[in-house]
C-alpha cells in the first residue's frame, strides 16, 4: 500500500465543509461533532468526529467559530430558544409580544433530530425567516408577512385530523438529487419561456428558474391516500403585473409563464425535479383589483389557467398584528371558472377537475409514497 507523501492529507468532503459553515452559525464545535456522527459522516481519514477534529477542520478551511448571540440575561446563550427582538419597538410602543428564534433554537432542533445538517441548509434557502438569521435583524416586510401567511396555513392543516401537512423539507427529502444538491433547492429550472407583446416583439428567456415564496403539500384521507402540492406566491404590489416590453424584470406575467413551463405535459418539470405528482399555485393579494388583473392574465396566457388559485386578504404587518389568518384554509379560493377548497379539495363552478388534468396519475402512488 503506497505511503502518503510528506504534507499530503486526505481532504474533507465538500458537503461536510458546507454543512459546518452552516452549523457554526448557531452551535458549538462539540455539538457539530455530534451532528456529523449521527449522520454517519467521517473525517477525511475515515475517523469519527470529535470537538478537536471539528476545530482543526474549521481552522484549515478558515471557518469562524460559533459565537452565541448576546440576547439578554438568564439562560446560557446557547440554551435560549426564543427571544424578544429589538425591532418589535420600531413604532415606539408595543402592540403585542413578539418572539424570535434565538441561538439555542438550532441547538435544540439538532439535539432532537428534528433537523440534520442537510435540512438546515435547505431551510436557510427559503424566504421564510431562517434558522441562522441574526435574531436582532428585522426581516423584510415581505418575508415577515410571508412567514405569518405560511404559519397560518401550516397551523390550520396540522389542526385538521383528516389531513397531514407536508413541509418543503419533507418534499426535498424525496426530491431529485439535482434539487437536493442545488444551491437554491426550491429554484425550479426552466429551459425557456416566451411571450408576444402587444407592441409586436416576441421575447424569450432561456435557462432561468422560478422559486416559489413557499412550498408545501397536504395528504388527504378522503379521497383515500390522495395528495396535493402547493406553491405559494405572496404579492405585496411591489412587482409589475403586465410589463409592456420585456420579461427580464420580475412580474406576475413572468410567473404565469414560468409555472406554465414547469407544468408542461407530458412530463412536467416539477415531477422530475421535486418528485411531486401535481402542483397548484396559491396567489395571495391585498388588492382585489390587482388580483383581478392577474386572473385575466392567467386566463389568457397560462397553459393551465385553473392551476392558479387566488385569494385576497387584508394588509399584513406581523409587527402590528400577528393574528393567524384562518380563511386561507377554512374558506374556498377563487380560480378561473370556479372555486377550490384546500381543506377538502372540493371544487365549485366548472365540473372539470383541472387538478387531475394537470397531473400525471401514472406513477403518482410511487412518487408520493416517500412522504
**159 and 48 inside one domain:** no
Higher pLDDT, 270 or 200: 270
Asked if the structure places residue 124 within a domain, the reply is: no
Asked if the structure places residue 256 within a domain, the reply is: yes
Asked if the structure places residue 321 within a domain, the reply is: yes
Confidence label for 75 from pLDDT (cuts 50, 70 and 90): very low
Domain limit, last residue, from 27, 43, 60: 60
The mean pLDDT value for 328-332 works out to 94
Asked if the structure places residue 261 within a domain, the reply is: yes
Domain limit, last residue, from 60, 78, 95: 60
Name the residue among 32, 41, 36 with its Cα closest to residue 63.
Answer: 32
Cell numbers placing 337: 371558472
Q: Exposure of 61 by Cβ count < 10 A (0-12 exposed, 13-18 middle, 19+ buried)? A: middle
Report whether 227 contacts 219 (CB < 8 A).
yes
Q: How many distinct structural domains can be found in the chain? A: 2
Report whether 312 contacts 234 (CB < 8 A).
no
Residue 81 clears pLDDT 90, i.e. is over it: no
Q: In 3-state terms, what secondary structure has residue 83?
A: strand
Asked if the structure places residue 135 within a domain, the reply is: no
The helix (run of H) or strand (run of E) holding residue 229 is: strand 226-234
Asked if the structure places residue 332 within a domain, the reply is: yes
Q: What is the pLDDT of residue 98?
A: 65
- pTM check: above 0.75: no
- Owning domain of residue 18: 14-60
Q: What is the pLDDT of residue 5?
A: 47
**267 and 357 inside one domain:** yes
The mean pLDDT value for 276-283 works out to 97
**157 and 270 inside one domain:** yes
The mean pLDDT value for 41-45 works out to 89
Confidence label for 86 from pLDDT (cuts 50, 70 and 90): low
* CB atoms closer than 10 angstroms to residue 81: 15
Q: What is the pLDDT of residue 352?
A: 39
**315 and 193 inside one domain:** yes
The mean pLDDT value for 143-150 works out to 88
Residue 133 clears pLDDT 60, i.e. is over it: no
The mean pLDDT value for 355-363 works out to 38
Q: What is the pLDDT of residue 2?
A: 44
Name which of 26-30, 179-183, 211-215, 329-333 the model is least confident about: 26-30
Residue 320 clears pLDDT 90, i.e. is over it: no
Asked if the structure places residue 30 within a domain, the reply is: yes
How high does pLDDT run on average in the chain?
81
**Can you list the alpha helix ranges (DSSP code H) found in the chain?**
14-23, 29-38, 51-60, 103-111, 117-123, 141-159, 168-173, 177-181, 252-262, 269-274, 288-301, 327-330, 354-357, 364-368
Higher pLDDT, 250 or 128: 250
Q: Beta strand 202-210 with 214-220: parallel, antiparallel or unpaired?
A: unpaired
How far is 159 from 302, CA to CA, in rounded Å? Answer: 34
pLDDT over 90 percentage in the chain: 47
Q: What is the CA radius of gyration of the chain?
A: 23
Q: What is the pLDDT of residue 353?
A: 43
Asked if the structure places residue 126 within a domain, the reply is: no
The mean pLDDT value for 199-204 works out to 85
**53 and 147 inside one domain:** no
Amino acid at each position: 500500500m503506497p505511503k502518503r507523501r510528506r504534507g499530503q492529507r486526505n481532504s474533507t468532503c465538500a458537503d461536510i465543509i458546507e454543512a459546518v459553515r452552516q452549523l457554526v452559525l448557531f452551535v458549538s464545535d462539540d455539538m457539530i461533532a455530534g451532528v456529523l456522527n449521527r449522520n454517519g459522516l467521517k473525517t477525511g481519514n475515515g475517523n469519527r468526529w470529535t470537538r478537536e477534529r471539528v476545530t482543526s477542520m474549521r481552522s484549515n478551511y478558515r471557518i469562524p467559530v460559533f459565537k452565541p448571540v448576546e440576547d439578554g440575561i438568564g439562560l446560557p446563550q446557547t440554551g435560549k430558544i426564543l427571544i424578544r427582538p429589538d425591532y418589535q419597538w420600531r413604532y415606539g410602543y408595543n402592540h403585542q409580544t413578539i418572539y424570535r428564534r434565538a441561538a439555542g433554537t438550532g441547538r435544540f432542533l439538532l439535539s432532537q433530530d428534528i433537523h440534520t445538517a442537510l435540512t438546515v441548509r435547505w431551510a436557510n434557502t427559503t424566504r421564510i425567516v431562517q434558522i441562522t438569521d441574526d435574531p436582532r435583524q428585522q426581516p423584510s416586510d415581505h418575508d415577515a408577512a410571508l412567514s405569518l401567511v405560511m404559519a397560518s396555513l401550516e397551523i390550520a392543516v396540522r389542526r385538521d385530523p383528516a389531513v397531514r401537512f407536508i413541509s418543503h423539507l419533507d418534499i426535498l427529502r424525496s426530491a431529485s438529487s439535482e434539487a437536493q444538491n442545488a444551491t437554491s433547492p426550491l429554484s425550479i429550472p426552466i429551459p425557456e419561456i416566451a411571450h408576444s407583446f402587444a407592441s409586436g416583439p416576441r421575447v424569450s428567456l432561456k435557462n432561468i428558474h422560478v422559486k416559489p415564496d413557499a412550498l408545501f403539500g397536504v395528504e388527504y384521507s378522503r379521497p383515500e391516500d390522495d395528495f396535493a402540492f402547493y406553491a405559494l406566491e405572496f404579492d405585496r404590489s411591489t412587482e409589475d403585473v403586465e410589463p409592456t416590453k420585456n420579461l427580464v424584470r420580475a412580474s406576475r406575467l413572468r410567473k404565469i409563464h414560468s409555472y406554465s413551463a414547469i407544468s408542461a405535459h407530458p412530463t412536467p418539470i416539477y415531477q422530475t425535479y421535486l418528485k411531486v405528482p401535481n402542483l397548484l399555485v396559491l396567489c395571495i393579494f391585498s388588492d382585489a383589483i390587482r388580483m383581478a388583473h392577474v386572473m385575466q392574465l392567467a386566463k389568457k396566457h397560462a397553459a393551465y389557467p385553473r392551476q392558479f388559485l387566488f385569494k385576497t386578504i387584508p394588509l399584513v404587518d406581523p409587527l402590528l398584528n400577528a393574528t393567524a389568518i384562518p380563511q386561507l384554509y377554512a374558506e374556498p379560493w377563487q380560480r378561473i371558472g370556479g372555486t377550490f377548497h384546500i381543506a377538502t379539495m372540493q371544487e365549485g363552478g366548472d365540473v372539470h377537475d383541472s387538478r387531475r388534468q394537470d397531473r400525471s396519475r401514472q406513477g403518482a402512488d410511487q412518487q408520493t409514497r416517500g412522504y
